């Protein structure tokens, strides 16, 4: 059984990353608005602040995640090409 890979199948991965980025940016904006409604020093304020800090770290990791995905695709294409060529 041969598995075939087509570059067009990467569209789903790309769209997922775009939606993730948009969702994170709007989510952080909403969380920031909620934080402003809380009174300073309460448990809810601290929890909202901690949540914002935690969620804000994920977009910083997106370039690394994308690099790993692209590298995996390139390695997969090279391995498939070399395997077919030398077999």
| Tens digit of each residue's pLDDT (9 = 90 or more) over 27-84 | 888 888 888 887 777 888 888 889 888 888 888 888 888 898 888 888 888 888 887 7
- CA gap 49, 66 in Å, rounded: 27
Judged against a pLDDT cut of 70, whether residue 5 lies above it is answered with: no
Q: DSSP per residue over 19-69, as a string?
A: HHHHHHHHHHHHHHHHHHHSPTTSHHHHHHHHHHHHHHHHHHHHHHHHHHH
**Domain residue limits, the chain:** 12-85
**pTM, 2 dp:** 0.62
């Amino acid at each position: 059984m041969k598995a075939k890979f087509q570059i067009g199948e990467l569209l789903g991965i790309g769209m997922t990353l775009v939606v993730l980025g948009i969702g994170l940016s709007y989510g952080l904006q909403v969380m920031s608005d909620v934080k402003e409604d809380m009174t300073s020093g309460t448990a809810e304020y601290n929890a909202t602040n901690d949540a914002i800090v935690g969620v804000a770290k994920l977009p910083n990791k997106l370039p690394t995640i994308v690099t790993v995905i692209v590298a995996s695709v390139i390695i997969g294409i090279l391995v498939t090409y070399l395997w077919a060529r030398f077999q």
